[in-house]
A = this chain, B = another copy of it.
Amino acid sequence: MLPKGFQYAGVYAGLKDNGKKDMGVIVSERKAVCAGVTTTNLACAACVKRARKILRRGAAKAIIVNTKYANACTGKQGERDDAEYAKIAEKLFGGPVLTASTGVIGQNMPLDNIRRGAELLKKELRDDYDAFAEAILTTDLVVKKISKTVQILGRDVTVAGVAKGSGMIHPDMATMLAFITTDADIDRGLLQRIIREVTAISFNQITVDGDTSTNDMCLCLANGLSGVRIDRQALPIFQAALTEVLIYLAKAIAADGEGATKLMEVNVTGARSLKEARLAAKAVAGSPLVKCAVYGGDDNWGRVIAAVGRSGARFDPEKVRMNWDGLQSKTVTINIDLANGRESAQAWGCDLTEGYIKINTKYN
């Protein structure tokens, strides 16, 4: 089941060279509350700057997405193009429209294709998100989508999510985009707060190669059409559903990292603070040496402890306990007890393989 009152579409607009779908749209039946987080990269794309403005106002009617052109580091022309992009979409779907781009940095968007693509999208709108999920992929190998319905006071509330991970057609930036829709009726401030909280334990705890993109965004639209108000009593149930959706997508992105053959899950317990737990888990998931060990099926605890040691987390190396699980399977779990407190955190990554090098080296 998908959230009430949203339509999705995905089409080929002639942006990609391989004829695969390259533009997508999500349209809410009525203007929705919006919230989200955007990249911390200073060299952010035009669409990111625009999204930040709309997020501050807190309402949007649609999200339009294109691949192949990140429209980052494209200067004033890029900002004009993005404004035109939004204008085209707003004419078709109502406004405001959030734009999201991914692809090559520094190249201007072909607005004619974008316009044609947007018109096609309008014709293809439907109640399922399959074509949309396909259209936002770049070199991702698998579609990443999930929907979760929970009951609150006897009524259904649904949260759906679609994401793309690290990968690109023309070797360039790995961009993470996630689009969440829900029919919950929720205040903008509350939605923003929980999106931020849940992002911190999901998308912000995955790492493929440590490179933060110019275009990363997680955007959420909540249109209220379930009729269920997210008050203090409903919040835990709603937040749990949102958490399930975001963690599922985060893990799917990590597992589909460039060249990855295995998902790595790192569980840190016994940390002095939440911050330290997160730092430790992420340092291990991001360590090239640990990633190579996971690839090789080698439970190399020295590399793990060295990664934790440089993470900023405090612990006594002699008290640390760790175990590896699933070394020969598709998901390798590394459990680390820092024995220094009560806080815990998870992080996800993938192994580092020759495939990553191949994908990211131009001539080979």
Binding site for B on A (CB under 8 A): 40-44, 70, 72-73, 75-76, 104-106, 171-174, 209-214, 287-289, 292-293, 295-298, 300-303, 305-310, 313-315, 317-318, 352-354, 356-358, 360-364
Asked if B41 and A306 sit within 8 Å, CB to CB, the answer is yes
| Chain A at the B interface: SS class | loop
The chain B residue with its CB closest to the CB of A41 is B309
Q: Is the CB of A298 within 8 A of B363?
A: yes
- Please give, as numbers and ranges, the residues of chain B lying within 8 Å of A363 by CB-CB distance: 296-298
Residues of B contacting A296 in the complex (Cβ-Cβ under 8 angstroms): 171, 360-364
Q: Which residues of B contact A214 (CB under 8 A)?
A: 302, 305-306, 309
Please state if A295 and B357 are interface contacts (CB–CB under 8 Å): yes
How far is B72's CA from A362's CA once the two chains are assembled, in angstroms?
Answer: 39
Q: Which 5 residue pairs across A and B have the least CB separation, nearest first?
A: A105-B302, A43-B309, A292-B360, A296-B361, A298-B362
Please name all residues of chain B whose beta carbon is closer than 8 Å to the beta carbon of A300 when the two chains form the complex. Answer: 171-172, 362
Determine whether the beta carbon of A173 is less than 8 Å from that of B302.
yes
* A10 to B288 alpha-carbon distance, docked (Å): 32
Additional 17 contacts, C-beta under 8 A, given A42-B315, A211-B287, A296-B360: A41-B310, A43-B306, A43-B309, A70-B302, A76-B318, A105-B301, A105-B303, A172-B302, A172-B303, A211-B288, A211-B307, A214-B305, A214-B306, A288-B288, A288-B360, A296-B364, A297-B362
